[in-house]
Chains A and B, each alone.
Chain A
Amino acid sequence: EPEVTQTPSHQVTQMGQEVILRCVPISNHLYFYWYRQILGQKVEFLVSFYNNEISEKSEIFDDQFSVERPDGSNFTLKIRSTKLEDSAMYFCASSEPSGKKLFFGSGTQLSVL
């Protein structure tokens, strides 16, 4: 079965540094998402992306966050100046044109020190 791939699996960074989390969605999918899961908490929606623009974003997705689809295959999440509270597992997801089933990657564990 096709899958969403995320790199790196673990990322450690210093507070205030910029990080880029990378995702390769499934090739024929049109909708792309980022979610995050702080340790012990629920999975939270961050942002959805369709037709090369953000279609929806949550309150968490402030000016420190940005997303980009720089080429035909990658989908990235950038955090400009990381804070301690950004430490979480970040999941990328994509969905088929019908949008009824999300496929999730295995996540990037971000640790901000």
Chain B
Amino acid sequence: AQSVTQLDSQVPVFEEAPVELRCNYSSSVSVYLFWYVQYPNQGLQLLLKYLSGSTLVKGINGFEAEFNKSQTSFHLRKPSVHISDTAEYFCAVSGQGNEKLTFGTGTRLTIIP
């Protein structure tokens, strides 16, 4: 079984500042890792995913994440945030060969003008 920990429930950031949203996972098997975003009153949209290969993964809207196996982390970063990035961000993990996603509790990103 897998689990995901998102330590920060809320992250306020000034507009145009960088941001990092933390995600740590636990698993006894190799995993796939995902970041999803949920804009207000909308569903879950895939930002990016790590399946294999390069540990630095680039996604939509200027976000990127780095898979660190030794630290079991998959932190999400953006060098300069915009008001439109205000949303809830969910880290998720699945075992390879098992499509079921296990989600973290989410991090609410609030952009301060």
Contact = CB atoms under 8 A, between A and B. Distances in A.
Interface stretch (B19-27, B40-48, B68-76): B40-48
A105 B32 CA distance: 21
Contacts of B49: 100-101
A43 interface: yes
A75 interface: no
B42 A106 contact: yes
Interface residues of A, number: 24
Q: Is the interface of A mostly helix, strand, loop or mixed?
A: strand
B103 A104 contact: no
**Size range of the interface on B?**
20 to 34
B99 A42 contact: no
Contacts of A68: none
Nearest to A100: B51
B100 A42 contact: no
A95 B42 CA distance: 19
A102 B101 contact: yes
A63 B46 CA distance: 31
A65 to B, nearest CB: 16
A42 B51 contact: no
A12 to B, nearest CB: 17
A38 to B, nearest CB: 11
A76 interface: no
Nearest to B103: A43
15 contacts: A4-B43, A31-B99, A41-B105, A43-B44, A43-B92, A43-B106, A48-B100, A100-B49, A100-B51, A100-B99, A102-B46, A102-B99, A104-B43, A104-B44, A105-B43
Interface of A: 4, 6, 31, 33, 35, 41-45, 48, 56, 91, 93, 95, 99-107
- Across the A-B interface, the 8 shortest Cβ-Cβ residue pairs: A106-B43, A104-B44, A43-B103, A99-B99, A42-B105, A104-B43, A42-B103, A107-B43
